[in-house]
Every structure is written in C-alpha cells, then in structure tokens.
Structure 1
Amino acid sequence: MEFVEPILEAIKCLGYPTSRYIDHHRKLEENMNDLRRRVAEVNTRKQDLELRKEAEIRCRKVVKKEVENWFEDVLRVNTEMEKIETKFRVVSYFSRARLGKLVCQKIEEVDRIYQKGSFPEGVAVEGPPPIGVTLPTTNLEGEMDVKEQIWEYLMGDEVGMIGVGGMGGIGKTAIMKHINNQLLKQKLFDAVIWVTVSREFNAEKLQGDIACALDYCLPKNKLEWPTVLMEILETKRYVLILDDVWEQFSLLDVGIPEPTLHNGSKLIITSRLIEVCNSMGCKVLKVQPLSLMASLKLFLHQVGDGILQDPALKEIVTLIVEQCGGLPLAIVTIGSSMKGVNDTCEWKNALNELNERVKSVKGLDTKIFEHLKFSYDRLKDSKIQNCFLYCSLYPEDYHIEKEELIEKWIDEELIDELETRQAMHDRGHSILNKLVNNCLLEGVMIDGVKLKEGVKMHDVVRDMALSIKIGCDQFMVKAGVQLEEIPTEHKWKENLEKVSLMDNLISKVSQISPKCHNLSTLFLQKNHILGEISESLFDHMNGLKVLDLSHTIILDLPNSISNLENLVSLRLRHCFNLRYVCSLAKLKALRKLDLFNTAIKEVPHGIEMLTNLTYLDLYSRHLKELPIGILSSFPNLQYSKTWLNIKGEEVAKPRKLEILLGLFCEVQDLEGYAKSLSGQGPTKYWLGVGSPKFGYFDNHTWFRDVEDVEVDKEVCFINCEIGNEDLVLLPNDVRTLTVQHCQNLKNLSNVSLFHEANALKTCTISWCEGIECVVDLALSSCNSLQNIEVLSLRDLLNLLELVRGVAVVSTSNTPTLPAIFSSLKKMHLIGCSSIKKLFPVQLLQGFQNLEYIEISRCEKLEKIIAEEEEENQKVEERGPKTTVFILPKLQTLHLINLPELKSICGSGVMIPAESLQYLSIINCSKLKKIPFSIPLLETGQPSRPPLEYGYVHPREWWKSVEFDDPNAKDVLSPIVLDSLEEAED
C-alpha cells in the first residue's frame, strides 16, 4: 500500500510527460539553487540600474516607464521567491514534483526579466530642458545704475558681449545674481546659464559646467567637446553668465558661439580685471564704489539703526564707513563684526585699528584684505580664527557640508574636547553661526541625495584667509584646480602645516619624499582617479595627524602609513577598491578610523591596539567576520558603525557610545544588549535584528554618508521570527520600530516586546504576509500604541483590518472606544491588497490628532471609515439623525489607485476641510460622494480652505462626484482644477 499513493500522484500528473514529472521531483534541490542564483543576478542588475536611475534623476531626466515596470517585475519576483522558499522548506514527498514544475517555470520567467533589464538605450529620457537656476540674492545698495545698464544691453540689439568689471567685493556677482533671476522670471531667453569660472581657468571644466547647466552629456572624446557644445548652443537663444573670469580665453576653443544680432544670444563676463573684459571684446561696465549715503545705509543694516541714537557714536560710525571705501563686502563684514557693540571706547579703538591698517597698505587687493582681516581679528578666539582659516583648504566656491566640516574641526582639535561628541558638534555649530553672522562665511544649501546645510567662502574672503597662511609658508592649497600631477618636491616647504590637493585629477603619487616634519594635515580626497601612492610620500611626515584619502580608487594603503604614530584621523571613505590596509598597531594616537564602503575582507591588523578610538566605521560588504571582543577594546568609542553580526553584551561595553549602527543576528542578542546597558545608552541608534538580504543596506540613504545619519533610536526586525517568543527586552527609549519580511508575525498584539515600548513614536510594518490585523484586542490592548504618531503599513498582502475585536454598544450613540492610536498623526496604507475596510467608526474618537492619511494601491478597499451598523444591519431605533464631525485636524488626504473605493465615511459623518492643505484623489472611479464640510464666514459665505494643491484624476470623475456639503464643490473646484491643468501643462 505504501506505493499506491505515489502511483496515484503520478497518474494525476499524466497531463505532462512522466519523465518531466520525475525530473521535477528528483531535481528540486538543484533547480532551487539555480533559481536562487538567477534571482540574485536579477537583484544585482537591479542595484546597478538603481544607481543609474539615481544619477539620471539628479541630471533632471525622467525615468522610462518600461524601466519602472521592470523594477515592479523584480519586486514581484522577490515576493514570489519568498513564497517558493517557504513552500520548499515544508514540501512533502508527494508535492515535490508540483513545486519542481513551479520552480522551472519561475526560472524561465526570471531569465526573461533579466534579459529585459539590459536597457542598452538607457534608463531615462530627457526631461523638459531647464531654463536656468534661481540664485539666492542680497539687497543691492547703490548699484542699481549698473544693473539697469546691463539690463538695457541685454534687451537691446547693439551689444552682444558685456563685461562687468570692478575690484573684488565691489558687488559684481551680487548684481549678476539679480540679473539672472530677473531673466528667469521673465522667460525672455531659451536658457540662462550661470557658470563660476574662478582664478584657475580650465577649458574642460567650463565646457562640462555649461553642458551640465543645459542638461546635456558630452561625448567621451574630449576633442569633440567644442564642436558638440557649439552645436548645442547654436540651437538656443541664451544668456551665458561667466562669473569671476581672471584671464582671456578663446570662445571658439571652448565651443561658445560669439553672440550676434542674428542669434540673439548674450554673453556676460564679470572680472576683477578690466583688461580681461576689454581683451574679450566686451562692452565694459565698471561697478563703482557705493556713495557714502548708500554705504552708511548698508552698514546700519548690518549693525542696527539703534547705534545712531548715541550722538557720540554718529561721527565715529561715519568715519568707519568712510574707511570701507564704498566696498559692499568690507561694509557688510565690518558691520557684522561690530553688531552688538555699544561701548564708545570700543568703537574708537575699532576706528584707530582701521586707520592704521589702511594707511600701511598699498594696492586695492591688499586694502580690502586688511578690511576683511579686521573682522577676522575681532573673532579674538584663536581656535575660532583657525576654524575659519581651515575653510580655505577647500576649493574656491566650494559648498562645505556643515557636519563634515565640524567633524574635520574635531579631528584637528580645533574644538575643545568636551564630555560628549554631541557637545562638540553643538560647539561647532555655535562657531559656524558666529562666522556666518560675521559674514566671513555664507550659508548655503547643498542639493545631493537630500538637501543639506552647508557654508561657503566668498572668493575674496578666501583669498584673504590664504594670504594669512601662505605668506608664512604654512599652507599649500591647490584644491579643485584640475591638477594632474602632485606638486614637485621643491614646492613642499619645510614650514608647511597643511596641504590640500583635494578635488583634482591626480592619478598617481610619484616617488617623492617631502621633508615636512611639521605637516599635520594632508588632503588628497576626491581625486577620483587616484589609484597609486608611493611608499616614500610619508617617510618624512612623522607629525602628520589628519590624512584624508576618501573618494579615491587606491587598491592598497602604503605600508609607510604604519609608522605615522601621531596620526589622529584616517579617512578612507568610499575607497571602494581598497582591499588591503597596512598594520595599524603603532597608530595608538588614532581617534578616527573611517573605512566606510571599502572592499576590505578583514579588519586591519593591530586594530585592537587603538584604545583611543572614538570613531569607528567598518562598513564593507566584503568584510565577513568581526573578531570576537574587538569592540570592547575601545573604551572611548563614541561612534560605531558595522554591519557584521555583533554580540549584545560586547557592544554594550563602550560606555561612552553615543551613535551606534549595527546588526544583531538573533532577537536574543538584542535582549542581551538591552540588559547589559547600565544607565544611559546611545543617544542615537539603528539596531537591526535578523538576516537582511544582500544589498539591503545599500538602499538606505543613512548608510551612504555618515553625516547623513538621521536615526533616532530605531530597532528594525528584518526577516526574523518574532511573535511567539517570551517577553523580549528592548532598549527602554526606542522611538522607531520597523518590521520587515517577518512572515510568522500575525499582529502586534502577539509581540510581547511592543507592550512596554512607551517611548515609541513611529511604527512601520512591511512585507509581512502573516499579518491579518495590526491589533487584536482579544489578545492585548497594546498600550504602547497610544503614543505612536506615525503608522506605516506597506505591502501587507493578507491584511484584512486595522483593529480586530472592537467592542460596540449598539444601543447607544457613544461606542466603547479602546485607548489605542490616540496620538496618531500620520497614517500610511500602501499596497495592502486584501483589506476592504480600514477604520471602524467606533475608533474615530481616538483619531482626533490625525493630520495625514495616505492610502494607495489597495485594490479591494471599499470603505475608509466603516460603521458597524452598516455591517450588522441590526440597528435599534434612534432619535433624529445628527451630523458627526471627525478628523478635525486633517491636513493631508491622498487616495491613489483605489479601484473599489466606494465611500470615505458613512452618512451623517463629515470631515471639516478648514485645515486641509493637500488633497489627491486619483483613479478612485467608484467613489461617488466626498464628505468635506466647508466652514462659513461671519457673512454666511463659505470660506476657502488653506489648500496648497489638489490633484484629481480623471477630470470627468471630479465633475460627476457629489459632496455632502453643497458648498464644498464650488469652493474646491477652482483650486483643484487649476492644479490639474498646471500638472497637465
């Protein structure tokens, strides 16, 4: 009888050849391994395409629809692969053939998807060509005549090339920024192109900047660039603004067509040198110094008008302003440095210092340097002055990220060592604010993966800073000047303290051995083609403290670095080819070791000797093992980042740890860590638990740049078993909880560790197929959810309801309300394809703080707010029907791709629109009624809600949909329809 069932099973499968059935049965393991390999190949291609996609988006291109569809196919395959893996783990003997057939079919499908993912013609298409970039501006004082003259030439036909000349700090760039923005606003030209040229002219860089501004990619052959650029520009009527030009160059050699009456284009050059403007054939306009009246007005704008209330100061202030010589930069900088000074003696002293400086110098540049140095000297604190001078190590016009700069200051010991790293960062921000407030630095925003705060130096201020240090041979700065070779040995002076060769085109450091025993800082970062550094470079740099080789392609670290016993900071970030790091055993002074995104396969030899380490980043996808006990070797550690499996008790030993990012293999390791904490733990942490798939961390912006870390006490369960364990201890201050790919999780009520997480503010659950409800009140009240402010539910394919087991008193108008979600402000429900009804009406009093609702791709969702009486159809007689108002603080409502949505809420329930700012209702064709209530003014007329935008689709649906409040449609339609038309344009 034991052979009967296999025979019957074989008979059932006679629909396809018996031999194939046997193959599917016997080769299941082999085919599963083949499928895993092919899925891994698809995911590797996906990672490569994602990088290409991000690069194209940064170039303002639009990703092709076929590419987006391909990403969705890969996402679907990964989901189906997880189901197959689950079936494979529990497959019975008699089901192997059926599963084997499915595996073979999936192999063929994955092959087709892989082939489709080549996209030889690229992943994106050109978006609408940009006209230009709006630039930040300051108020113009007394420079309006020149601005108006420039504008007249731009609008006329007689002048095609305009030269704006004048000494540094006179206001040339400020005027042109206003011109740039006015041109963009009036849209009189096809393109307005702004390029900062700076002192070190480089034709290739200029060509690349112009092409980038026009959103074009130049060919690989640089010999073709002038021709290609000429062809591009000749198709447009443009204004090209070249700011800060220092020498004459050939327009033809660069590829810039000479502006003529025929092509209608214009070229504007700003330069400190009038002869450069003349030699380029420009109509020259010279920016004159401000008049005394305009100078005084600008000065008082910085220092405050109240200073003139003291008659004794009026004359002194006027004399100081006269000393500024009508230079806006000097006026602004000196005025800012005197802000808050009310003592007459201090003002007299300032006037005397300025008099002595100006009398003792000759030459225009030197004169303004002395004006600016006055503000530098008034900083008084030598460490703050050195923080300022340090910024001159960066290239001209470089935007420096604030957090990166503060980290460098900490490395250089320019910030006093305080008790915590956070305290030092706070001190750094205080210094930055002082420098910005004194107009020695300018605040900027840096647009990258995300918008970040930064600072930059005005080129004249940088020149002044360098004049202080270069004059005594303490700095050698050749940053961002397109160097292809390292400076020869005789240019390395013995007195050098800091050398910056960053952001160049150096590919190799030759056999030189500079005798620079006082050198403390060497910048070689962002030489993106630097692949080799000679052993001899560091032979006579025994005083070196800071070495930055980040963003290079070096394969090996020179062994001579092993002897740099005074080294404090070694930065090797994004050296993605770096495989070998020399022994670090002698570097006992080292406080920072940054090996983020390198290719090392093992931790450097001697790392356990670095007992002074305060900062350690060991993230490398090739690093397989972290030696046991290694983290406990660093008692002073403040920052730790590693994605190897760590042990809980070990990582809790560094008591000074403030920022921790790491991965535990088991839930028990997390519990061990939480138990081992005595008192205060890290102020920021991201703790993963489980087994993330390959490349998981690469998709998080947190892991791309250390300064981007925004973690706020987060625990993330990834592909692990939770839901059935005994009480698990979490860090008691966890604020964010993320659960991903935990298939056995049924609901949060099953997870004991949720119950005591009283500081929890954000909860995200995604790709957990076992979840049918978020909270089951029959099991637990889940009290920790009372404090949650953000709840995100994503791709929970079997989710049926938010809360199960809501108690209802059907004979009363006041239902029994469980105390959950009372603090909720944001709700995301995305890709939950089984849920039909979201909120029971009985819970709505708990949603009084809800401000944001986003529901998308929930194919079966019919009702957002469902009344229990509608479900039971058993409602006792009630009194006269009254209108119930819900969600009083709702500001954002996004309903997108909900094909079965019929109702937002039941009859008699209204949502006040008085706070509504953002509205999207897209592809919800079965929705027949919208329950918005429009408040009335004292006049009885409906008021307009503060709606900033409203998108609806299709337009015909919007025209046919009904509103519970008859005023709502009339009030909202003009706003929504205008936004729709704008989107279509």
Structure 2
Amino acid sequence: MKQVASIVAEDLDMLRRLARDHYWSIFKQRAFVGEEVPKAEEILSVETKIVEMCQGEDDKWENSIKKILKLSYDYLPSPHLKKCFAYFAMFPKDFEFEKDQLIQLWMAEGFLRPCQETPLMKDVRNKFFQLLLQYSLLQDVKLDEFNNITHCKTHDLVHDLAGDILMSKLFDQKSIRGENLSQVRYFGWNSPSDQMDMINEPGRIKELSAKIGKLIYLRYLDLSDTQIKALPNSICKLYNLQTFRVNDCSSLRMLLEEMANMISLRHIYCNYYYIFDMQISLNMGQLTCVQTLEFFKVGSEKGRRIEKLGHLKNLRGELTIRGLQSVRTKEEARTTYLQEKPNIYKLTYLWSHNESEGCEINDEHVLDGLQSHPNLKTLVVENYLGTIFPSWFNKELLPNLVMLKLSGCKKCKEIPSLGQLKFLRHLELIGFLELECIGPVVP
C-alpha cells in the first residue's frame, strides 16, 4: 500500500494510528446498522479485540479483517439471514449475483419467512437483502434506470467467510457419479466452457432427461443459454419446482402443457415469446400462483386468451403482452386486471396489424381497458393504430412513470400532456406520421 501511494504522491505523510475511540466509533457505524448497540458490559471484550486487531501489524491485517467480518456476521439479527449469507459460498469468487435470482434461490431454500415484524414476503425479501448490504457483506452493486439494485458481488474475504460457515452436503460428480441424486442438496459444476458444451450433445441430453425427474425436491431449475430443443416430460414430475428459467434458449420452441399441473411453480423466465405462441402451450389459467411471467402472446386457443392473465393475481416485475390485435373489446382487455397488480413496474403492449379497416377504434378501446396500476414506472406501446391515447395517460393515474416509449403509432393525431408527469425522465416518440398536437406542458 505504501509503495502504491508513493507512485502518485511525492510527499507521503503516513496516516497515524487513530485513537482507540475512533476505531470503535467506525466499527459501530458498520456493524450495528439500524440496530441498537448492545450494552457496554456485553461488548467490552469485543471492543478490546476489535481495537487490537485494527492496531495490529500489516502482515496480520487480512486475518484481522476476517475476524471483524465474522463479528459482523455474528451480529446479524436473524438465523435465516445468516443462512442467506452462507449461501454465497455456493458460487465462485467474483461471481456477479442478479438480485432477483438470488432472492428466488433464498426463497427456494425456505430462508425467507414472514414474521410478526415483517408480515409480508415482499418486505422480507427487501429487508434481508438491504441488511446484508448495510452490514458491508455485499459490494459492487449495479443500478437500473430507476436506481434499483439489480446486481452485486461479494469480496473474496467475505466469500471465504461464507465458505467457512456453510455446513452443507455438496454434490461431488467425481465420487458420487449420479447414483444418489435423490439425496443431493446442492450441485455445482465449475468446468471450462468446452466441457459444458458437451451437455448439448444428443446423448448427454437424454442422460440428463432421465435423471432430472428423480430430483423431486428441486425448487429452482435454470436451463438458460443451452441448445435444448425440447423439454423432457420428466420435468413435469418436479412438483416442488418454484422457479424455471429458459432464457436465451433459441432452439426451444414450446413448453409442456402438463407443466400447468406444477402447483408450486411461481416464476417463469423466458425471453423468446414464441415459446408461448405454439398450439401446445401452458394453460395459464391453472398456473394461478405464477408471480413472474416475462412474455404472454394473446391468441384464441385455450390457455392463450387474454383473460388468463387475470387469473395470475401475483404477477410482478416486467410483462410484455404481444398479439393485442386479437383482443376485440375494452371489456375483454379489462379481464387482465392490470389495475390490481401493484408489483408490475414495466409493461409493454405490442400489436401486429394488417391494418384492416376499423382497427383504429378497436385499438383505442383495448388500450383503454389495459389501464395499469399507479405504481407503474415504465410503459412501452408499439404499433398502436389508435388516433388518440386513453384518458388514463395522465399524472393522476401514472404518477410514478419514469420512462415512456411510444413507437409505430402512425395514425395517432394527439398525444396527452406529458409535461404533467413529474417523474418522467426518458421519453421516446417514434413513427408518428399523422401527429397534429401534443397537450400543453404544465409547469
């Protein structure tokens, strides 16, 4: 450290050791965030140890940091929160966690449980993550356009501590060779990409398909970034599965109809909308417990009618609805009950028209019936052929809107008074061929 500092400064003044009270003051700010500091008699010995560690020699500094981190862990206010922390050891060092994915893994493990102080599950999720952040056990956070945390990492020393704490039975593919999959608690494969690519070979896929149905207690399954072309029927036996991810699976063309019977399934992630655009698709009416569904393609077949979204009362996050030209009336659009879904923060409405006569009026009625909850932060409307926008495009019904994108609205003649949306920071207006006026900007 001294050598590095000397490179950028000619006159180097060494920082003197802080007074004893200063060390303890700094530690209290980080170790007891939002909590009452324990009584003096309970922490006197701890204070002495901490100050001694901070005043130690340079070669002992790393060990001192580890001990301080251990103390920070010991004072985490919940045994479930401690389990959430230890779970970091399941991943490689320098791994970048996606916040939502990490929380879903905690949920799958049963670590997140409502209590008297925090009765709602969504509050428990946020509280646990924020506490680990405040206790300096997370770092390198990334934010989205709304300043919400999306990704984070752990320091190597924090990862080492989590590894020391984690007392779990790990799967060793070399010694177990798959014979005892029913007893596996965790499975990790840290292999070069060329070895991982072997999974995509036909024979390997069959072997995986045969075994996956035996993992009857599996709660989280991620098949993203693979070349899998069809899901094995054995997946439908995973009745405890809560989260299913198939992002970036460009060869996959459909989900299984029998998946509608998976009573524990809460989250479905896929960024290829045509998975839901097949003759055989999920009967979304049965999957009433789903909370995350990134895409829905409206159609006339069973399981694809727009009213199926109305049965999914706990939807959250982002939702894209395609094929809105198949919706005929305002009343039909209202069956989505989007007004009653406060946890959806981004909505995308997409039409695909042949520009038949009368579509202008129909689009206006449909968009009017797709009114969102006031919590909405991002709204995207593409290929809408109405001449005006509905009355709910105003500051009272979209008070929290941060981003608005209107694209391909080539028959629209009038845009509402967007200046009244006080939180609006990003606005895109593309392809307005007949626009005549924009409502007055109100300061």
TM-score w.r.t. length of structure 1: 0.35
1:794 is aligned, of 407, 429, 434, to 407
Match of 1:651 in 2: 284
Match of 2:123 in 1: 426
Aligned ranges 1:836-985 → 2 under 5 Å: 837-839=436-438, 844=440, 847-848=441-442, 889=443
What SS does the corresponding residue of 1:531 show, helix, strand or coil?
helix
1:592 is aligned, of 237, 243, 247, to 243
Q: Is 1:567–2:218 an aligned residue pair?
A: yes
Match of 1:965 in 2: none
Q: Once the 2 structures are TM-superposed, how far is the Cα of residue 405 of structure 1 from its aligned partner?
A: 1.4
Contact 2:269 2:292 in 1 (8 A): no
Match of 2:22 in 1: 297
Contact 2:24 2:47 in 1 (8 A): no
Residues of 1 paired with 2:51 and 2:381: CA distance? 68
Match of 1:774 in 2: 388
Residues of 1 paired with 2:351 and 2:163: CA distance? 52
Q: Once the 2 structures are TM-superposed, how far is the Cα of residue 573 of structure 1 from its aligned partner?
A: 1.8
Compared with structure 1, are the counterparts of its residues 402 and 783 closer, same or farther at alpha carbon in structure 2 (3 Å cutoff)? Answer: closer
1:528 is aligned, of 193, 203, 216, to 193
Q: Once the 2 structures are TM-superposed, how far is the Cα of residue 300 of structure 1 from its aligned partner?
A: 2.0
**Structure 1 gap segments, 5+ residues each:** 1-142, 156-284, 305-331, 475-495, 502-508, 534-548, 624-641, 685-708, 776-781, 804-819, 849-888, 890-985
1:662 is aligned, of 283, 286, 296, to 296
Residues of 1 paired with 2:373 and 2:33: CA distance? 45
Q: Is 1:614–2:218 an aligned residue pair?
A: no
Q: Once the 2 structures are TM-superposed, how far is the Cα of residue 522 of structure 1 from its aligned partner?
A: 0.9
Match of 1:706 in 2: none
Residues of 1 paired with 2:409 and 2:163: CA distance? 59
What SS does the corresponding residue of 1:728 show, helix, strand or coil?
helix
- The CA deviation string for residues 145-166 of structure 1, in whole angstroms up to 9 with x for no partner, is 666423247x9xxxxxxxxxxx
Q: Once the 2 structures are TM-superposed, how far is the Cα of residue 352 of structure 1 from its aligned partner?
A: 7.5
Aligned ranges 1:187-586 → 2 under 5 Å: 291-293=17-19, 296-303=21-28, 335-336=31-32, 340-341=36-37, 343-348=39-44, 350-351=46-47, 364=60, 368-379=65-76, 381-416=78-113, 423-445=120-142, 453-469=150-166, 474=167, 497-498=169-170, 512=177, 519-524=184-189, 528-529=193-194, 530-532=196-198, 555-556=205-206, 557-577=208-228, 579=230, 581=232, 583-584=234-235, 586=237
What SS does the corresponding residue of 2:437 show, helix, strand or coil?
strand
Contact 1:574 1:596 in 2 (8 A): yes
Compared with structure 1, are the counterparts of its residues 823 and 670 closer, same or farther at alpha carbon in structure 2 (3 Å cutoff)? Answer: farther
What SS does the corresponding residue of 1:583 show, helix, strand or coil?
helix
2:351 is aligned, of 706, 730, 740, to 740
Contact 2:213 2:235 in 1 (8 A): yes
What SS does the corresponding residue of 1:570 show, helix, strand or coil?
strand
- The one of the two structures with greater contact order (alpha-carbon pairs below 8 A, sep at least 6) is 2
Residues of 2 paired with 1:751 and 1:608: CA distance? 33
What SS does the corresponding residue of 1:445 show, helix, strand or coil?
strand
Contact 2:231 2:255 in 1 (8 A): no
Q: Once the 2 structures are TM-superposed, how far is the Cα of residue 732 of structure 1 from its aligned partner?
A: 4.0
- The CA deviation string for residues 947-973 of structure 1, in whole angstroms up to 9 with x for no partner, is xxxxxxxxxxxxxxxxxxxxxxxxxxx
Residues of 1 paired with 2:381 and 2:161: CA distance? 55
Aligned ranges 1:650-799 → 2 under 5 Å: 650-660=283-293, 661-666=295-300, 670=305, 672-673=307-308, 677=311, 681-684=313-316, 709-711=317-319, 715-718=321-324, 720=325, 727-730=331-334, 731-734=336-339, 738-742=349-353, 743-744=355-356, 747=360, 751-755=364-368, 759=372, 765-767=381-383, 773-774=387-388, 783-786=391-394, 793-797=406-410
Compared with structure 1, are the counterparts of its residues 447 and 411 closer, same or farther at alpha carbon in structure 2 (3 Å cutoff)? Answer: same
Contact 2:299 2:326 in 1 (8 A): no
Compared with structure 1, are the counterparts of its residues 290 and 387 closer, same or farther at alpha carbon in structure 2 (3 Å cutoff)? Answer: farther
What SS does the corresponding residue of 1:520 show, helix, strand or coil?
coil
Contact 1:555 1:578 in 2 (8 A): no
Residues of 2 paired with 1:447 and 1:500: CA distance? 37
Contact 2:268 2:292 in 1 (8 A): no
Contact 1:532 1:555 in 2 (8 A): no
Compared with structure 1, are the counterparts of its residues 558 and 739 closer, same or farther at alpha carbon in structure 2 (3 Å cutoff)? Answer: closer
Contact 2:267 2:292 in 1 (8 A): no
Corresponding pairs, count:
407
Contact 2:141 2:150 in 1 (8 A): yes
Compared with structure 1, are the counterparts of its residues 613 and 793 closer, same or farther at alpha carbon in structure 2 (3 Å cutoff)? Answer: closer
- The CA deviation string for residues 323-346 of structure 1, in whole angstroms up to 9 with x for no partner, is xxxxxxxxx6xx557963162223
Q: Once the 2 structures are TM-superposed, how far is the Cα of residue 759 of structure 1 from its aligned partner?
A: 4.8
Compared with structure 1, are the counterparts of its residues 442 and 558 closer, same or farther at alpha carbon in structure 2 (3 Å cutoff)? Answer: same
Compared with structure 1, are the counterparts of its residues 149 and 752 closer, same or farther at alpha carbon in structure 2 (3 Å cutoff)? Answer: closer
Q: Once the 2 structures are TM-superposed, how far is the Cα of residue 564 of structure 1 from its aligned partner?
A: 2.6
Q: Once the 2 structures are TM-superposed, how far is the Cα of residue 774 of structure 1 from its aligned partner?
A: 2.3
What SS does the corresponding residue of 1:398 show, helix, strand or coil?
coil
Contact 1:796 1:832 in 2 (8 A): yes
Compared with structure 1, are the counterparts of its residues 349 and 511 closer, same or farther at alpha carbon in structure 2 (3 Å cutoff)? Answer: closer
Compared with structure 1, are the counterparts of its residues 459 and 577 closer, same or farther at alpha carbon in structure 2 (3 Å cutoff)? Answer: same
Q: Once the 2 structures are TM-superposed, how far is the Cα of residue 766 of structure 1 from its aligned partner?
A: 4.1
**Structure 2 gap segments, 5+ residues each:** none
Q: Once the 2 structures are TM-superposed, how far is the Cα of residue 368 of structure 1 from its aligned partner?
A: 4.5
Residues of 1 paired with 2:236 and 2:71: CA distance? 46
Q: Is 1:832–2:436 an aligned residue pair?
A: no
What SS does the corresponding residue of 2:150 show, helix, strand or coil?
strand
Residues of 1 paired with 2:287 and 2:429: CA distance? 40
What SS does the corresponding residue of 2:227 show, helix, strand or coil?
coil
Q: Once the 2 structures are TM-superposed, how far is the Cα of residue 764 of structure 1 from its aligned partner?
A: 5.4
Compared with structure 1, are the counterparts of its residues 646 and 559 closer, same or farther at alpha carbon in structure 2 (3 Å cutoff)? Answer: closer
Aligned ranges 1:95-244 → 2 under 5 Å: 148-152=5-9
Contact 2:349 2:381 in 1 (8 A): yes
Amino acid at match of 2:79: S
Residues of 1 paired with 2:52 and 2:23: CA distance? 23
Residues of 2 paired with 1:532 and 1:562: CA distance? 20
Compared with structure 1, are the counterparts of its residues 593 and 667 closer, same or farther at alpha carbon in structure 2 (3 Å cutoff)? Answer: closer
TM-score w.r.t. length of structure 2: 0.69
Q: Once the 2 structures are TM-superposed, how far is the Cα of residue 384 of structure 1 from its aligned partner?
A: 1.5
Contact 2:99 2:151 in 1 (8 A): yes
Amino acid at match of 1:429: N
Contact 1:788 1:823 in 2 (8 A): no
Q: Once the 2 structures are TM-superposed, how far is the Cα of residue 597 of structure 1 from its aligned partner?
A: 3.7
Amino acid at match of 1:614: R
Residues of 2 paired with 1:613 and 1:366: CA distance? 44
Q: Once the 2 structures are TM-superposed, how far is the Cα of residue 353 of structure 1 from its aligned partner?
A: 7.6
What SS does the corresponding residue of 1:832 show, helix, strand or coil?
coil
Residues of 2 paired with 1:760 and 1:384: CA distance? 32
Compared with structure 1, are the counterparts of its residues 741 and 146 closer, same or farther at alpha carbon in structure 2 (3 Å cutoff)? Answer: same
